[in-house]
Structure 1
Amino acid sequence: MTDTNTQNRTWYFVRHGETDWNAEKRMQGQWESNLNENGKGHADVNGRWLATLPIEHIWASPQIRVRQTAEIISKHVPLAANPNFDDRLKEWSSGDWSGMLYADIAKERPDEWAKWVEDRYNYRPPNGENFVDLEVRADSFFKDASKVNAETVAVLAHGFIIRVMVSRLAGLSQADVLAVKQTNDTVIRVRQSDGETIIDHFVGGIGPHAGLPLGEQGAA
């Protein structure tokens, strides 16, 4: 658990809307792709729901799919029109796997894939990152975020980095992190109050559902 942010705060972690690469189970990482029609709908639904909340500050990944998500959300939450873009919120770098279908990585790079399956938290694909690298980014981000005077905040980002950020706030195990499934219409809420951390989530604006969303994470 990170100790750089001790103030009482409620965080809303919003994943970008679906892209065609998500639907195809193609590795995106830090490569760019656009929202598809489903993804635009995800962003719109989440925007309408976020508009009911007292959001005071928004951070966002600068990647295209998040920028497009923020633009749609801004129709309902004007604050999202000019979020604080932060490179530390970019997705996990999938290195040489970027742009490949998950199935093709397993077929064409079986040794690398086997190592990732065996230890998804610590294995780095060639020229890529692992979850420990994301911990370093997340801790650096939270150190600076703690200086912002806001009690209710939102982060618009990606599946892998959000998992790690929630982990750093709540002290989750590696197994807990790998078990999370945040679909493109799911928002994770983390409430920090008087030393207690409570996690729940909303799907398509419906909830709260207790705890983390669980399952196999799709393409990042």
Structure 2
Amino acid sequence: MARPRKTNGIGIGVEDTQICVVMVGLPARGKSLIAQKAQRYLKWLSIDAMVFNVGNYRRQDSPQPGADFFDNSNEKGERMRRAAAEAAVTDMLKWFKAGGVVGILDATNSTKERRRWVKERCDAQGVETLFVESKCDDEALVMSNILEVKTTSPDYKGLDPETAAQDFRERIHNYEKVYQTIDEDESHLTYLKIMDVGKQVIINRIQDYLQSRVVYYLMNLHIKPRSIWLSRHGESEFNLEGKIGGDAPLSARGEMYAKKLPDLVRESVGDDRPLTVWTSTLRRTIATARFLPESYNQLQWKALDELDSGVCDCLTYQEISELYPEDFAARDNDKYNYRYRGGESYRDVVIRLEPIIMELERSENILIVTHQAVLRCIYAYFMKKSQADSPWMAVPLHTLIKLTPRAYGTQEERYDAKIPAVSTWRGKGSVAKHEDPTAATDAIGKGGDLPQ
């Protein structure tokens, strides 16, 4: 009996399609990073996705094993690793039965026999399989990933870094003894091979729209270590007046922030490498970025313009509550999906930001100077914030945010310019201009801006 038709909330009907994305690759090839990125991208687009990390299941019985645990001749280790894979796949298939759409099996899946077993289990339940192999022979990148793992993996928590690195190298060597890359013997499989962090991509037997959507995203990924810098524009005249939208100039304090921003960027980057700067087409973001070094290439994106508030543009929240009381209440009730009359919703902003996310994923050294709602949506993507919470996050003015994606989450650092700015975060039901933003759900930091 067919499952009921499902939609992901943004007009993409996935019907009965369910996909198991099966990661393939040696350790230190970025599989977990790719898996985490794929999950957060799909959930950001309202497609139900879940990562099933076999290592997490294995750690329940063997939390910090030595490299010999992963030697294929170690019968006990092999038995425990197989049991962990069985548990992960069983849980994933239960999740699919409950209505999950894209399950991501994060493991080495290093042999043809193991991949055949996964496919047979999924086939028996009518779940499609998409194998994603990350293959990398770039020694510098592999070493970088080893350094990443030894400092962030639960397997090496509390261990001496050099001891951890040596053990991890030995673990990789044990996998290399039995590793089988996807080749012509598996030409019947649907797969994507990412070679040397995207220098070459091989696609085989992609079957439907949802698979194509996942593959398109994964083709744009690279797994090189990098950071993304985010900043609000400086305080604007409309911020001071409590008005939303518009194209107001910077206030005097906003000008001070624009002049201070190059120093904040230099401090956070840590060296003199040039960044590419993306701003919106509105003058408050362009003005904020104008003192950055000439070596920084600057691009203006219409997609980074602030959420369009339609008929409420240039009004205060007090005026909106008086002129459009029903709309004011409806937006508070479901801020993510509420669309201003003649304007946009947060969901609309996410859709128009998808090309920005794609460019971010294939680029390096990007600084984005943008607006409150747009920054919330981008931040929610990297930090896996929920749709219910993201529109209410308090985003500080005059603060530079540095995000560094890692295999086990995204690291966040903040750099406060220490230039005062009006706090205009608004809580549900309130029309006040100045409130304490620390009451906001999942506040990014103190300070604030008009919550478009």
TM-score (norm 2): 0.43
Q: Which residue does 1:15 correspond to in 2?
A: 232
Is it true that 1:183 corresponds to 2:183 in the alignment?
Answer: no
Aligned 8 A contact 1:42 1:204 in 2: yes
Q: Which residue does 2:25 correspond to in 1?
A: none
Which one of the candidate residues 61, 70, 95 is aligned to 2:289?
A: 70
- Map Cα deviations across residues 179-220 of structure 1 (whole Å, 9 max, x no partner): 4222220222211133531223222169xxxx8226875254
Structure 1 residues 212 and 144: alpha-carbon distance in aligned structure 2, compared to 1, 3 A threshold: same
Which one of the candidate residues 348, 352, 355 is aligned to 1:133?
A: 348
Q: Which residue does 1:213 correspond to in 2?
A: 445
Aligned 8 A contact 2:264 2:415 in 1: no
Q: Which residue does 1:156 correspond to in 2?
A: 369
Structure 1 residues 214 and 123: alpha-carbon distance in aligned structure 2, compared to 1, 3 A threshold: farther
Q: Which residue does 1:112 correspond to in 2?
A: 327
What is the rounded CA distance, in whole Å, between the counterparts of 2:356 and 2:386 in structure 1? 20
Q: Which residue does 1:2 correspond to in 2?
A: 41
Which one of the candidate residues 281, 300, 321 is aligned to 1:85?
A: 300
Q: Which residue does 1:59 correspond to in 2?
A: 278
Counterpart of 2:228 in 1: which secondary structure? strand
What is the rounded CA distance, in whole Å, between the counterparts of 2:371 and 2:449 in structure 1? 11
What is the rounded CA distance, in whole Å, between the counterparts of 2:275 and 2:418 in structure 1? 19
Larger Rg: 2
Is it true that 1:203 corresponds to 2:416 in the alignment?
Answer: yes
Shift in Å at residue 63 of structure 1?
0.9
What is the rounded CA distance, in whole Å, between the counterparts of 2:356 and 2:315 in structure 1? 29
Listed as ranges, the gaps of 5+ residues in structure 1 are none
Listed as ranges, the gaps of 5+ residues in structure 2 are 1-39, 43-216, 420-442
Counterpart of 1:12 in 2: which secondary structure? strand
Is it true that 1:171 corresponds to 2:381 in the alignment?
Answer: no
Aligned 8 A contact 2:360 2:366 in 1: no
What is the rounded CA distance, in whole Å, between the counterparts of 1:22 and 1:218 in structure 2? 7
Identical-residue share of aligned pairs (%): 21
Q: Root-mean-square deviation (CA), in Å?
A: 2.3
Aligned residue pairs total 208
Does 1 or 2 have the higher relative contact order (CA < 8 Å, sep 6+)? 1
Q: Which residue does 1:26 correspond to in 2?
A: 243
What is the rounded CA distance, in whole Å, between the counterparts of 2:418 and 2:367 in structure 1? 14
What is the rounded CA distance, in whole Å, between the counterparts of 1:167 and 1:24 in structure 2? 28
Aligned 8 A contact 1:180 1:216 in 2: no
Shift in Å at residue 135 of structure 1?
1.1
What is the rounded CA distance, in whole Å, between the counterparts of 1:199 and 1:179 in structure 2? 19
Q: Which residue does 1:44 correspond to in 2?
A: 259
- Map Cα deviations across residues 80-118 of structure 1 (whole Å, 9 max, x no partner): 5x4121111111111110011111111111111111111
Aligned 8 A contact 1:199 1:212 in 2: no
Structure 2: which amino acid aligns with 1:35? L
What is the rounded CA distance, in whole Å, between the counterparts of 1:205 and 1:47 in structure 2? 14
Aligned 8 A contact 2:397 2:449 in 1: no
Aligned 8 A contact 2:373 2:451 in 1: no
What is the rounded CA distance, in whole Å, between the counterparts of 2:398 and 2:377 in structure 1? 18
What is the rounded CA distance, in whole Å, between the counterparts of 1:217 and 1:64 in structure 2? 17
Structure 1 residues 132 and 105: alpha-carbon distance in aligned structure 2, compared to 1, 3 A threshold: same
TM-score (norm 1): 0.84
Aligned 8 A contact 2:234 2:255 in 1: yes
Structure 1 residues 205 and 153: alpha-carbon distance in aligned structure 2, compared to 1, 3 A threshold: farther
Structure 1 residues 177 and 98: alpha-carbon distance in aligned structure 2, compared to 1, 3 A threshold: same
Aligned 8 A contact 2:278 2:369 in 1: yes
Shift in Å at residue 70 of structure 1?
1.1
